[in-house]
A and B are shown apart, each in its own frame.
Chain A
C-alpha cells in the first residue's frame, strides 16, 4: 500500500523548490504557464511516428532545470512514475503496427515500435515541463495568476484550500491506516467490508476541523483579493523568455534538423 504521508509531502518538496532564486524563478508566472502550454501543444502536434524531429525539444526541460537549479533526479523520478501508463498504451502499437519503418544492420524497426518510443518520449517531455513549471513557480503566484486570468474565484479558493488540507488529511489517513494494520495484524489493503466505516470516520473527523480552520482563516482576512493591486507587469526578461520559449519550439516544429544534417551524418557514418 502506498505510504500516504510521504506521497503528500512530495508536493511540499516542489513548493520548497519554487521559493528558490534564479532567472527562471523571477519570471512572470503567466509567461511560464503560457510557455509550458505552448510547448506541450507543439510536442503533441507531431505525428505518432515522428521521433527524430522531436529530439531537439529536450533542450527546453534541460535548460530550464539547469538555469533554475531544479534537481534532475527528483524530476526524472517523478516522470518515471508517469511512464507505465503510456507504456501499456503504446505496447499495443508494437503488436498491431508491425510494418517496417527502417532497417539498421539487418535489424527491422517497425512503425509500432517507433510509435511506442515516441509515446514514451512525449510523456517524458510533457510531464517534465509541468513539473518544472511547478518547481519554479510558487503556489501563491500560480493562484494569483489564475485569479488574474479570471478563473472563477470559487474554483481558485477550492484549489488553495484542498491543497492546504491535503497535509493534515494525509497525517490523519496515515495514522488510521497504521491503527487498522495493527488491529488486523496484516500488511494488505483495507478489506472491502471495512472500507465504509474507515472512510466515513476519516471524512467526519476532517469535516469538523476544516470548518474551524476556514473560519479562523476568514477572521484573518483570507478571501479579500484585489486584482489590480496584485498585478505584476511584464519585464524585458519575460518578453525575451517568451520569445525564446515560443520561437525555438516553433522552429524545431517546422524544421527537422535531422533531415537537414542527414547528408553529413551519412557521409561520416559511411566513411
Chain B
C-alpha cells in the first residue's frame, strides 16, 4: 500500500508511468519502452534543476524591485511559474494532464468539437494551474483530478473551435486547427483588427526590416530583455544595497547582467526538461487520438501561423511589447494613487510568441492597422489579466513570476472565482 502512495506522490515516477502506458498501448518494442520511460522521468528532474536556477535569479530580482520601488514586481513566464509549482503540485498536475487528454479524445469523439489539442507543454502548464487553483480552496484527492481533467479537456477542445474561423482565413484551408492557450488574446486582436483595420492592406505587402529576427532565439531574447530590466532595478535600489545584501561585493551592474543571463539559462534548462517529459507522451496521445477519432483536426502550437505572415510576426511582437510597457505604466500610476497592485513587467516570451500570433490574427482581419492595434490590445490584456489571476493562485500568488498567456489568466480567473464562490 505504501508503495502505491509513494508512486502517486512522486511526480517524476507518475509521468514516467503515463509515458510507459502510452508506449505499451502503441505496442512499442521493450527497448523503446525502457528508453522512453527513463527519459520521461529524467525530464522531470532536469526541469526541477532548471527551476532552482530560474527561481534563484527571480528571487533576487524581486528583492531588488521591492527595495527600489516599494512594490511587488512580477515577470510573467509560464516556464518559471510551472517549474516552481510542480514541486508541490507535480502529482496532481501529472494526473490532471493524463485525464484531460482522455477527456479531450472523448469530447472529440462524441461532440461536434472535433479538435485534438496537441500543444503538450500548454496542456502541462494548464494542468498545473488548475491544480493550484483547486488546492488553494482546499480541494484534493480524486475530486481535484476529475475536476481538473474535465475542465482542461473541455478547453482543449473548445479553444481550437473558437479560433477556427480566423484560422481558415489565415491558412486558407480547414484541415488544421490552432491549439495554444493564448486564444482569447488572439480573438481580441482579430476583433480589434476587424473594427479598426483595413483588410486590403496586408502586412505582407510592405517591406519590413527583418533585423529583429534574431530575437526568435528565445534564450537570447530573454537574456537581453531581462538584462535591461535587471539593470533598471539595480540602479533604482542603488549600488550599495545590491553589493552589500545580494552580490557579496560583486559590482552591481555585472551582478545584474549575470543574473539576467542566469534566468535565461534556467528557462533553457526547464524547456529541455519539458521537451524530455513530452517526448513520449505527445506522440502516444497523437497516435491514440487519430486512431479513435480519425476525422478530428489536430490543433497545433502558435508558430504554425508564422510562415503565413512573417512581417505580422515582427510587427505583432513590437506592438504587443509596447502594449506591455504602456500597461506597466498604467499599473505604476494606479499604485501612485494609493491602490497597491503588483507591477506586471513585460515578459519577453509571452509578447514574442503570443504578441506575434496576435499580430498575425489582427492582420487576417484588418491588415497592417489590424496587426498593430490588435497586438497592442493583446499586450495590454496580458499585462492586466495576471493582476486579477495572482490572488487566486494561493501561495503561488506571492511568487515573482506568474502565468503570462491570456487563456491561463481568463480560465484561471473564471474558474478560480467560481471555486471561491462555491467552496
Co-assembled chains A and B: no
Residues of B near any A CB (own CB < 8 A): none
Residues of A near any B CB (own CB < 8 A): none
